Amino acid sequence: MFSGCCCTKTQPASNKVQNNEEVGLSFAQDRLQPKLAYVAHPCFSGLSEESSTRVDSELEEASRFQALVDSFAEKAEKGCPCTCIREGSGGSFETEYRIRQNDGLLLVMASPEAEEAEVSCPLDTIQDIYTMHDGPDCFPKEILHQAGVTGGLDLLLMVVCSSSSGDSSDGSVGSRFFLVESSRESLSYLLELLRVICS
């Protein structure tokens, strides 16, 4: 039953010697130049390259985002357009906010052209910032309504400060104020900038 097996076939002596010499030469070459098959294996090399590419891509994206945030910080120093919603009256007005890092202040101006601030909030007193991502229950209904009227409900944010902050132009002290950003990109950059400054 094993007559067809290659192990049972008789090979000429000369062929055996020649085969042994070839095997010996091949083995000697392998010893001189070892082949690490597992290094070149497509499974291992593919995972390594894929992982490296993913890490490089994430680092590049993080670096690009940080560059955009740095550029936004320079813009915010001069003023960024927004809508401010007054709590209580439910009114809103177009204005701009300014982040004066040297002075440690977040200012909401009375108007885009004005030099006086509607709200002056020390950056080191900012306790939290809420957006619609945190859920509508975080906001008063009147604020949600007014933000919806302006068409910027998804760009709404609430800045919560300690009791010593939020000095208004009328001399009253508030613990929070509401802004509607001009775009999703600006909202993202603002949140990241304030996170870095206030951390």
Closest CA to 79 of 199, 197, 184, 179: 179
Determine what percent of the chain is predicted with pLDDT higher than 90.
Answer: 49
Predicted confidence (pLDDT) per residue in 96-137, tens digit: 999 999 999 999 999 988 889 999 999 999 999 999 999 999
CB-side exposure of 135: number of CA atoms within 13 Å?
2
The answer, yes or no, to whether residue 180 has pLDDT greater than 90, is yes
Tokens coding 56 = 């490089």
- Write out pLDDT tens, residues 34-67: 444 334 444 444 545 667 777 777 888 888 888 8
Q: Which of 46, 113, 119 is nearest to 78 (CA)?
A: 113
- Put simply, whether the predicted model's pTM sits higher than 0.75 gets the answer no
pLDDT(10) > 80 = no
- Report the share of the chain in percent with pLDDT over 70: 68
Angle at the Cα of 61 from the Cα atoms of 56 and 62, rounded to 5 degrees? 100
Average pLDDT over residues 21-35: 45
> From the centroid of its chain, how far is CA 163?
31
Q: Tell me what the pLDDT averaged over the chain comes to.
A: 77
pLDDT at 172: 39
- Is pLDDT larger for residue 184 or for residue 115? 184
Can you give the residue ranges of every domain in the chain?
Answer: 14-76, 79-198
Residue 24 clears pLDDT 60, i.e. is over it: no
> Has domain 79-198 been given CATH number 2.30.29.30?
yes
